[in-house]
Amino acid sequence: MNKKEKFSFLKGKGASVGIVLCFVAVIAMVGTVTFRNYKKNMNEQIAKVQQETEKLTKENDAAANSKDVLPMEGEEDATPSQTDHADRQEQEGASSTDGTEAENGQQQGQETDETAAQGSSGAWFTEASILEWPASGATLIGYSMDQTVYFPTLEEYKYNPAMIIGGEVGESIKASATGTVSSIEETAQTGTTVTLDMGNGYAAVYGQLKDLSVSEGDTVATGEPIGLLNEPTKYYSVEGPNLYFKVMKDGEPVDPMKFME
C-alpha cells in the first residue's frame, strides 16, 4: 500500500469514527433531554400526589374534630340505650293510660247500668226483697194470671194482674217498698193511680186513691204515706172500698204475694 492509499484509508476510517462519535453524542443528548423531561414529569406527579394527600388529610382531620366537639350543655344527644329506654317508658306510659281509661270506662258503664237499674231514688228491689202490706184489709180478689177468677161487680171471670185488698175509705195508704213516683194518672177502672219505680225493673202500682201526699219525681221510703183510700170505682163497687195493688217486673205483672212475709 502506498502512502496515498494509506492516507485515504485512514481518512475514511477517521470519518467513520467521527460519524459514530457524533451519533453517540446525539443519542446521549437525546437521552439526557428525555431523562430530564421524565424526571421533571415525575417530580410534578409526585408533588400533585402530595398535594392531594395533604388535602384529604386536612379534610379527615376536620371531620374528626367536628365529631370530637362536645355538645353544649342541655343539648346532649341521647345514647341508643337511653333513647330505647325513653321509648319503652313512653310506650309503657301510653299502655298504662289506655288500660286505665278502659278500666274507668268499664267502671263508669257499670255505674251507669246500676244507676239505671236502681231508678232515680237509688232503690234496688230484688227477688229477695220484702213488701209491706199496703192496706188494712184482707185480699178480696187475688192475683191470677194462670186462670180466671170471679169479679163480683162485673159478674164475670177474667184474669187478674193485681191484688184487690179491702180497706176503709180515708185510711192512709203507705209505700210497701222504697221507690220514686214515676207517674200519677187517672183511669176509669182504678181512679187516681200512683206508680212507684222501685229499681231493678220493679214497679208498684197503687190505685183508687185520693188526697195524694206525693208528686211525680218524689222519693218515698218504705212505710211513708202516698195518699188516702178513696171510694171504689164502678168496676169494684160490690167489693166495697179497696186498694188496687199491682207489682210489675220489666213491664210485666208478677204475683205480689211472692214478696210478702
pLDDT digits (tens, 9 = 90+) for 122-146: 668 999 999 999 999 999 999 999 9
Please tell me the distance from the alpha carbon of residue 187 to that of residue 185, in angstroms, as a whole number. Answer: 7
pLDDT at 1 over 70: no
pLDDT at 44: 72
Tens of pLDDT, residue by residue over 28-63, are 665 665 566 656 666 776 667 677 767 776 776 666
Which of 93-102, 136-145, 196-205, 206-215 shows the lowest per-residue confidence on average (mean pLDDT)? Answer: 93-102
As given in the structure block, the three cell numbers for residue 184 are 200519677
pLDDT at 103 over 60: no
pLDDT at 226: 98
% pLDDT > 90, the chain? 52
CATH number of 139-259, picked from 3.40.30.10, 3.40.1440.10, 2.70.70.10, 3.10.129.10: 2.70.70.10
DSSP string, the chain: --HHHHHHHHHHHHHHHHHHHHHHHHHHHHHHHHHHHHHHHHHHHHHHHHHHHHHHHHHHHHHHHHHHSPPPTT-PPPPHHHHHHHHHHHHHHHHHHHHHHHHHHHHHHHHHHHHHHHTTTT----TT--BPP-SSS-EEE--EEEEEEEETTTTEEEEESSEEEE--TTPEEE-SS-EEEEEEEEETTTEEEEEEEEETTEEEEEEEEES-S--TT-EE-TT-EEEEE-PPPTTSTTT-SEEEEEEEETTEEE-GGGGB-
Higher-pLDDT residue of 185 and 84 is 185
pLDDT at 218 over 60: yes
Residue 112's pLDDT band (boundaries 50, 70, 90)? very low
% pLDDT > 70, the chain? 56
Higher-pLDDT residue of 13 and 168 is 168
| Average of per-residue pLDDT across 18-22 | 65
pLDDT at 21 over 90: no
Higher-pLDDT residue of 185 and 52 is 185
User: Average per-residue pLDDT in the chain?
Assistant: 78
Tens of pLDDT, residue by residue over 138-182, are 999 999 999 999 999 999 999 999 999 999 999 999 999 999 999
pLDDT at 74 over 50: no
